[in-house]
Amino acid sequence: MNANPHTRPGDEQYMEMLTQLQAVDFVLCELNLYLDTHPNDANAIEQYNELVQQRWHMANEFETLYGPLMNLGHSYSGYPWQWNDAPWPWQV
């Protein structure tokens, strides 16, 4: 039996991709906070921008396979409307 009823049973790739996205999001959040107090750190800005690009590609790949990560115009939806499909990424 699956311990979390919201995950997709047997889909290890779903969980792996979501975990990688969450890790990049965490680093981006930390870099954002750091740059708020160190706005002239060129190395941190470069790292931030590289991770933004990496995250965009990762999210695009995830959404192509599993549907949107965010609503309100931040992610495309396939047909039919995919926001009815559970679980949503934040429920996993």
| Angle ∠(13,19,21) on CA atoms, nearest 5 | 105
Q: Which element (helix H / strand E) includes 20? A: helix 12-37
Interatomic CA distance for residues 22 and 39, integer angstroms: 24
- Are the C-beta atoms of 28 and 48 separated by less than 8 Å? yes
pLDDT on residue 6: 47
Chain mean position to CA 76: 14
Interatomic CA distance for residues 76 and 72, integer angstroms: 10
Instruction: Give 25's pLDDT tier (boundaries 50, 70, 90).
Output: very high
Domain boundaries of the chain, sorted by first residue: 12-70+81-91
Q: Tell me: the pLDDT tens digits for 30-64?
A: 999 999 999 999 999 999 999 999 999 999 999 88
- Are the C-beta atoms of 34 and 44 separated by less than 8 Å? yes
pLDDT on residue 83: 60
